[in-house]
Amino acid sequence: MLKPSALRRGDLVASVSLSWGGPSVFPHRYEAGKHQLEQTFGVKVVESRHALADHEWLASHPEARASDLMEVFADPSIKGIVSTIGGDDSIRILPFLDLTVIRENPKVFLGYSDTTVSHFACLKAGVVSFYGPAVMAGFGENGGLFPYMISSIRRNLCSTEPIGLIIPNAAGWTCERLDWAEPGLQNQPRRLNHCSGWHWLKGTGIRRGKLIGGCLEVIDWLRGSPVWPNLSVWQESILFVEISEEAIPPIAVVRIFRSIAATGALEATRAILFGRPYGDEKTFAAYDDALLQVCREFGLESLPLVTRMDFGHTDPMFTIPYGVEAELNCDRRELRIIDSAVR
């Protein structure tokens, strides 16, 4: 895996709309995210050619979205790339991507949710990318950015030291929806829920593996596509997954994991990390049960499983680098990323 260069103050960072054209629908939200990204990390955000284009036009032109990604990867003045927002059809850009361009121009690429598609393209190209906040969802946080998220971004994207121990968030989490159509709500912080901590459902000893994963629904769509990783990539990996704001039911999680298992990927992985589900905490136990059921069905009783972790569609999130080695110590209940993600 090729590591991108660390982001520095003053670097140019390009925003790209690879799926839904959210900036054209809620321009004030995009500008808020852009401003907070620039002010917090000292970078300069510039838009790719079609990042702000009308959402209906973007929906009809996946080739333009892909062209944007290729242009900013190839542009030597651009040091980082951040997705504006997710969506549900990044998969339509796959035929127009050139993985050689990505491999020959490794640079920080950040986003989550439907951006999983482009992360798998980076992984196929052999370049480290980052599952983390987008401009509108994450950097656009109401009332300012969460310190937990800021710290994780700095450790992943801005430091060449090993990322180290990932500490569970203890300051409160949220998935409250404040209407983006109401600009007056931008400065109103969202309500926080009590953090009950990560749940170490099973597993003993120490497991090491390279991180691979993303949004579970999107991973399901990618099975059989040209960017689906070879089995050798899954072997001795640590799989991280989370569900989107659509909050698919636990039975859907079972079915998707069964499909992943059928490819051989689940048996090859060294551990599963599951992000905190979107929605009411009363539903979380059902997702834990769903994962345990799949492990029983496929004889993976010894596979370590940690759930309700701080990444994905609840905030704040920690950022996860693809293809970088992590260590899960089940006995000490610790997760650490044992290498740096940038050079």
pLDDT tens, residue by residue, 64-107: 999 999 999 999 999 999 999 999 999 999 999 999 999 999 99
- At residue 122 the predicted structure's pLDDT band, cuts being 50, 70 and 90, is very high
The 44-47 sheet, strands edge to edge: 44-47, 12-16, 78-83, 108-111, 130-131, 320-321
- Report the topology of domain 12-160: Rossmann fold (3.40.50)
Tens digit of each residue's pLDDT (9 = 90 or more) over 288-305: 999 999 999 999 999 999
Q: What band does 187 get if pLDDT is binned at 50, 70 and 90?
A: very high
The domain 183-337 is placed in CATH, from the list 3.40.50.150, 3.50.30.60, 3.30.43.10, 3.30.70.2190, at: 3.50.30.60
pTM for this entry = 0.98
pLDDT score, position 276: 98
Average pLDDT, the chain: 98
Query: Got the DSSP string for 50-111?
Result: TTTS-HHHHHH-HHHHHHHHHHHHH-TTEEEEEES---S-GGGGGGG--HHHHHHS--EEEE
Q: Where are the domains of the chain?
A: 12-160, 183-337
Residue 24 pLDDT grade (very low, low, confident, very high; cuts 50, 70, 90): very high
Q: State the pairing for strand pair 320-321/130-131.
A: antiparallel
* Three-class SS state of 131: strand
Distance CA 174, CA 157 (A): 24
Q: What is the pLDDT of residue 151?
A: 98
184 class by beta-carbon count within 10 Å (0-12 exposed, 13-18 middle, 19+ buried)? exposed
> Residue 81 and residue 112: Cα distance in Å, rounded?
12
pLDDT at residue 130, as a whole number: 99
Q: How confident is the model at residue 333 (pLDDT cuts 50, 70, 90)?
A: very high
- By the 10 Å C-beta count (0-12 exposed, 13-18 middle, 19+ buried), 248 is classed as middle
In CATH terms, are 12-160 and 183-337 the same topology?
no
